[in-house]
Amino acid sequence: MKLELRKLARFEGRKGPLLLVIMDGIGIGRHDESDAVFLANTPNLDRLMQSNLQTRLKAHGTAVGLPSDNDMGNSEVGHNAFGAGRVFAQGAKLVNNSIADGSIFKTENWNAIVRRGLQGHAVHFIGLLSDGNVHSHINHLFALLKNCAESSVPTVRLHILLDGRDVGEKTALQYISQTEQLLFSINSSASLDYKIASGGGRMVTTMDRYNADWGVVKRGWDAHVLGKGRQFRSAEEAVKTYYQEDEAITDQYLPSFVIVDGHDKPIGKINDGDSVVFFNFRGDRAIEISRAFDEKDFHEFDREFVPDVFYAGMMQYDGDLNIPKNYLVNPPAIDRTVSEYLCGAGVKSFAISETQKFGHVTYFWNGNRSGYIDEQLEKYVEIPSDRIEFDKAPKMKAYQITEKTIELLNSGEFRWGRVNFPNGDMVGHTGVMEAAIVAVETVDECIGTLLKEIEKLKGIALITADHGNAEEMFEMKKGVKIVKTAHTLNPVPFIIYDPGFANEYKMAAVKNPGLTNVANTLLNLLGFESVREYDTSLIEFTP
C-alpha cells in the first residue's frame, strides 16, 4: 500500500532544509553537582532553552513501549519511537508478555531446544546477567532455566556477561549470587546439572556492536565455545580475583573467564548437538555473536571450531538480514514509519552518525528495517568510530559528523536530515564526570555550528534527545556517592530553532508529550498535514 501525505494549506515549510539533531544521552537533570549537562559550558543549549518554541519530552517507560515507568529508556526504543510516530510494545515488555502467557514455551524453536536437551545434549544460555532491563533481564533467564528444569532437561550451562553499565558498576556478585542460588535449588531438587561455565565484562566479551571491534566477540567465542581463557573454579572467584588485581576496574570491563573442574577441564564448552540461546532481547549487541553461530561463510575472525548447534536469539535482532534464523519472541511489527511516508511523498533525506549510533538513525529509526527505504531518495552516512574507551576521547567524531552534515545541507539535494551525536550517551556510560562534561560541551559547540548553517540556508532545526544519561553521573545512597553509568528516567529537551519564525505556529498543549510526538511535528514543519494514526504534533498552527 502506498503511503500518502497531504500538504498543509497555509504552511509549506521553510525555503531551506529541516535538520533533526539527536543529542544521544543528554537529558534534563537536577541541575546539581551530579549533572554533567548542567556543569558543562553550553551557551547554545542555554540560549535555545529560553525559547518559547521548546518543551520537555518523556523518553522512558510506557512512553516508549516499555513495561513500566520505572524502566529507563534506551537508544533503540527511542529511535523506534521517533520513526514510528506511535508507541509499540518493546523489548522487555514483549518478552514479559510471552513468558506470562506461556507462549514462549509453546513455540517450535523452544520445543526443539528442549528436545535436544532431553536427548543428552547441553542447553547453553549466553547473555547479560542483570536486571538493567535495557539489553536483558535476569528474570527472563530464570524463567527459561525453570522451564528447562520442569521439562527435565539434564544439562544446562550459563555463559554470563557482566553489566556494570545499566546497573551499578560493581554489582556482578549480587547477580551471580542470585543465579547460584537458583542453580543450587534446581540441582538439589531434581538431580540436574546446571552450572555457570564462562563469562566476562560486556565491553570486552561477546557484546560488540556495529562491527566496531570483532575482537570482543572472539574473546566471547573463545570462552563460551572453546573453553579457552583464564581459569577459575567459580564465577564468584573470577570476579573477586579481578577486583583484587585492579581496584579501579568495573564490571563492564572485567576480562573473560572460564570455569573448570577439579582437573582443570572446562565444564561448559559448546559441542555438536547442543543448543544455544542468546537471552538478550535488544538487538544491537546481539547481532555479531549471532552471526558467529549462524553463518557458514564467516570471515570476521578464526572460530577454530564451529559446533553444529541449534542457535536461537531471544528475539530476531535483524529481520531484514534474518539474524538469527531462529528466535523465541517475535519483534514488534513497526510499519508506516515517518520515513516511509516521506519517501512516498518523494522527499529526499539523509541520516548521519558515527559507527556507535549509525544503526540507530537508520535501522531503528526505520522500524527495525535494514537498508534503504528508497535508495533514490535517501543517503546514509557512517563516520567510523575510534576503537578507544570513550572517556579517553570524549569528543568522539562529533566534529567530523558536523563537517559532513554541513556538506550535506549545503548540497541543496536534501529536504531534511537527521543527525545523531553519540557523545552524551557513550561517554556518560563510562561514569567519568570530567569526560562527560567535555562530551556535552563538544555537542553544544557542534550544534552552534550547525545552527549557523541552518540560519544561512533559511531552514529549521529540531534539537532533542532519545533518552537521558550524562545529566545524572552519580547518585547518593546513605551519604555515599555511587557512580551512575546507566540511562536515566529524566525527560529530554525538544527545541525548535526557526530563524524565519513569524508566529505561524506555537507549541501545542500536548498531555504527557513523548518521543512519538516528534514524527508529526517533523511532518508539519516540512509542510505536511499530520498522519492521523500518529501521536499528536507538538505544534499547532495559529489562525
Active site residues: 75
The grid cell for 495 is 527545541
Q: How many residues does the chain have?
A: 543
For every residue of 447-491, DSSP letters joined together read HHHHHHHHHHHT-EEEEE-SSB-TT--EEEETTEEEE--S--S--
- Whether the CB-CB separation of 472 and 30 falls below 8 Å is answered with yes
* Residues paired with 351 in a beta bridge: 380, 418
* Residue 36: alpha-carbon gap to chain centroid: 21
**Cα–Cα distance list, 212 to 432, 435, 451, 495 (Å):** 22, 21, 30, 32
Q: Rounded to the nearest 5 degrees, what angle is found at the Cα of 310, between the Cα atoms of 134 and 96?
A: 30
Strands 539-541 and 505-507: antiparallel
The grid cell for 294 is 549462524
- Whether the CB-CB separation of 180 and 196 falls below 8 Å is answered with yes
* Residue 322: alpha-carbon gap to chain centroid: 19
SS3 298: coil
Task: Name which of 244, 249, 199, 193 is nearest 219 in CA terms.
Answer: 199
Cis status of the peptide bond prior to 17, with omega within 30 of 0: no
Convert 454-474 to b/e letters by CB count within 10 Å (16 or more is b): beebebbbbbbbbbbbbbbbb
- Whether the CB-CB separation of 518 and 82 falls below 8 Å is answered with yes
- Whether the CB-CB separation of 206 and 249 falls below 8 Å is answered with no
Terminal Cα-to-Cα distance of the chain (whole angstroms) = 34
- Whether the CB-CB separation of 139 and 129 falls below 8 Å is answered with no
* Number of C-beta neighbours around residue 543 at 10 A: 4
Helix (H) or strand (E) holding 312: strand 310-315
**Cα–Cα distance list, 418 to 64, 83, 384, 497 (Å):** 19, 11, 17, 14
Task: Name which of 201, 217, 199, 319 is nearest 267 in CA terms.
Answer: 199
Distance CA 531, CA 7 (A): 11
* Residue 375: alpha-carbon gap to chain centroid: 25
**Cα–Cα distance list, 242 to 167, 172, 195, 238 (Å):** 19, 12, 21, 6
Distance CA 99, CA 53 (A): 43
- Whether the CB-CB separation of 313 and 326 falls below 8 Å is answered with yes
Distance CA 434, CA 332 (A): 38
Distance CA 491, CA 493 (A): 7
